[in-house]
Amino acid sequence: MAIILGLNAYHGDSAACLVRDGELVAAAEEERFRRIKHWAGFPREAVAFCLREAGVRLAEVHHVAINRNPRVNNLRRLLFVLTRRPDPRLVLNRIRNIRQAATMETALRAAFPGEALRAQVHHVEHHLAHLASAFLVSDFEEAVCVSVDGFGDFASAAWGLGRRGAIQIDGRVYFPHSLGIFYSAITQWLGFPHYGDEYKVMGLAPYGEPRFLDAMRQIVRVQPDGSFRLNLKFFRHHVENVTYTWNDCAPEVGPLYTGALEELLGRARRPGEPLDQRHRDVARSAQAMYEEAFFALLNAVHSRYRCPNLALAGGCAMNSVANGKVYLKTPFRKLYLPAAAGDAGGAIGAAFVVHHRLVARDGERARGGEGRPEATGNTFRRFHMRHAYVGPGFDEAEIRALVASRAGVLREQGCAVEWLADEAALCERTARAIADGLVVGWFQGRMEWGPRALGNRSILCDPRRADMKDVLNARIKRRESFRPFAPSILRERVAEWFEQDDDVPFMMQVFQVRSDKRALVPATTHVDGSGRLHTVSREANPLYHRLIEQFEALTGVPMVLNTSFNENEPVVCRPEEALDCFLRTRMDVLVLGRVFITRPRPTG
């Protein structure tokens, strides 16, 4: 039995996972424990959680898999330095970054003093880890594998073919060309300066027109082979020392664009300035340019491999708008997107790369004799990640003890506390509260892996109320009004409500709501008639499925508005954080396990 610890460290969204004998036991991002969004550094708390969940100590781990390999693409790095002559500080920073990735054993020993580290350490190429985070946990026997992101191990994209337990990479786009850098630079130009703000551009884009698409084509140049190149005069990252802060903090990225971008598009918006139509049009044009390059790449790789299945990962695979058009714009007919397509997911990808290498090695040794089941005959099997509920969970005794310890504060706020042991009663009461227009915090089971709240750490509302977005933003979320909220829908009802019918368990695709249904769910229908879909199956999350069934029985609508359980912070992890968020906001109801907490509705 092999125990493998997978890591994404010293980069945004630091994370850890643990794989035991080919099964994912636990996974979590460090931000959930540190309470700092996209926390970058060594994921000590996430590692500690994974070890606890598996019931093992660090000394019992056989292999550590890291989603970076400082030994790859070094010839290209050297050639770049010799031909481009970048700022020496840029070179020194990159060397420092590479050394940090190469000394993970030291970091592990420092994080767990007094514990032995006997594991073999494996460095897995960044994009191979991305590809594996999709293909090696999908149910595909064979699939085209594509990774697109900012940068990792001196490349920004990679593609190839996955078969059974292996992935062959056949092509890459190398530094300094990157669709991720393009989208991030436009995000900064639009006045969204924080790491991970690209999703705001996606939300803003439907309010604009692609008037700047010709300008965007001057920035990104699609190549005849389906790859892409940047017009580097608009960017700084390849010649100047752009600041990247990755160690024990919220990640920060310095300005990526040059003055030439402002000459092309006009003066950049400063953070906090009003958004005008020009900004909306630039956002729409950037999204259109991204899709043009993205689909050129996908169509090119499809024509090469002629396989209908696509496993997609990398930070750019978080672009749920583009993901939702894959079936419309390419010949692919099945798509697997992991719950954490970005760098956190590389922890899982690296772990499964190592697992399958071990399986292959044992299969070689077993030829002519008895081998492991995964490697012999027709009994090959692969773990399929059907759900994302692999984070920390808390039992009812812990929850009841917490509520008892806060009894005084709850009384001061006029809250009523009930214990609903019966699951049917819990779902019926919660569904009725949502149907009555209340804002409900829903904390159940194990925390989701990845950036999306998928029905275990969620705030739930009535999608039929046109004013619900404003209610949520005023009372809890306090976010930009142009950003949409997502629907969680019963899997069996998708075809009735959306123009495409597919499994979207991780909320990673945007589909068009059927035109005759849009007026029924205005709170989850974006201005362009779309919704960022989250399909809920009875097998993956029976309690959440039952709740939505109850809501449908009351209203005729088989979906609820689902947004992350947080207030300008990482999604809540522990029941204490859920209760604190409830108490400091104007949430109406908190369903904490089987504890049902209500506060008096505001008057006036």
* Residue-wise pLDDT tens digits, 468-517: 999 998 889 888 889 999 999 999 999 999 999 999 999 999 999 999 99
List the one residue out of 155, 96, 103 whose CA is nearest residue 125: 155
Q: For residue 222, what are its two tokens?
A: 């699609």
Cis-peptide into 176, omega within 30 deg: yes
For residue 23, pLDDT over 50 is answered with yes
pLDDT for 127 equals 98
pLDDT, residue 183, reads: 98
Give the contacts of 578 (CB within 8 A, at least 6 positions apart). 441, 443, 457, 565, 572, 590, 592
Report the C-alpha gap between 455 and 536 in whole angstroms.
Answer: 9
Strands 252-253 and 244-245: antiparallel
Q: Which residue has the higher pLDDT, 109 or 72?
A: 109
3-state percent helix, strand, coil for the chain, nearest multiple of 5: 40, 20, 40
Q: What gap in Å lies between CA 573 and CA 150, rounded to an integer?
A: 28
Strand ranges in 30-85 using DSSP code E only, listed in sequence order: 63-66
Instruction: Say if CB 137 and CB 384 are below 8 A apart.
Output: yes
Beta bridge partners of 560: 488
Topology of domain 179-336 in CATH is Nucleotidyltransferase; domain 5 (3.30.420)
What is the C-alpha separation between 122 and 135, in angstroms, rounded? 19
Which range is least confidently modeled, 53-57, 70-74, 236-240, 294-298? 70-74
| Of 341, 355, 352, nearest in space to 311 by CA | 341
Tell me what the pLDDT averaged over the chain comes to.
93
| Res 247: pLDDT | 78
Confidence at residue 372, expressed as pLDDT on a 0 to 100 scale = 44
Among 78, 11, 27, which Cα is nearest to 448's?
27
Interatomic CA distance for residues 128 and 345, integer angstroms = 11
Asked whether the domain spanning 179-336 has the same topology as the one spanning 3-132+342-375, the reply is: yes
End-to-end CA distance of the chain: 62
Range 72-85 burial, b when 16+ CB lie within 10 A, else e: bbeeebeebeeeee
pLDDT band at 371 (very low <50, low <70, confident <90, very high): very low
CATH number corresponding to 3-132+342-375: 3.30.420.40
What region, left, alpha or beta, does residue 76 occupy, with left being phi > 0 and alpha being psi -120 to 50 degrees? alpha
Half-sphere exposure of 603 (CA within 13 A, CB side): 1
Model confidence at 375, pLDDT cuts 50, 70, 90, reads very low
Q: Is residue 173 within 8 Å of 227, Cβ to Cβ? A: yes
Which uninterrupted H or E stretch holds 577? helix 575-584
What's the CATH number for 396-598? 3.90.870.20
Q: How confident is the model at residue 96 (pLDDT cuts 50, 70, 90)?
A: low
CA 333, CA 335: separation in Å to the nearest integer?
7
> Which amino acid is present at 321?
V
Q: What six digits make up the tokens of 4?
A: 């493998």
The predicted structure's pLDDT at residue 71: 78
More confident residue, 105 or 138: 138
Lowest mean pLDDT among 75-79, 225-229, 244-248: 75-79
| pLDDT greater than 90 at residue 357 | yes
What are 230's strand-pairing partners?
220
Least confident of 94-103, 336-345, 452-461: 94-103
Q: How much is the pLDDT for 373? A: 41
Q: State the number of CA atoms in the 13 A half-sphere of 351 facing the CB.
A: 29
Calculate mean pLDDT across residues 273-281.
Answer: 97
Residues whose CB is less than 8 angstroms from the CB of residue 30 and which lie 6 or more positions away in sequence, other chains included? 13, 14, 15, 16, 39, 41, 43, 44, 45, 46
DSSP bridge pairs for 461 = 561
Q: Looking at the predicted structure, is the pLDDT value of residue 364 above 80?
A: no
Residue type, 598: T
Q: Is the pLDDT of residue 275 over 80?
A: yes
Residue-range domain boundaries for the chain:
3-132+342-375, 179-336, 396-598
47-51, 68-72, 580-584 — which is least confidently predicted?
A: 68-72
Cα separation, 63 vs 36, whole angstroms? 28
The upper half-sphere exposure of residue 425, i.e. CA atoms within 13 Å in the direction of its Cβ, equals: 8
> What's the rounded Cα separation, in Å, for the pair 382 and 236?
43
The pLDDT-based confidence of 425 (bands split at 50, 70, 90) is very high
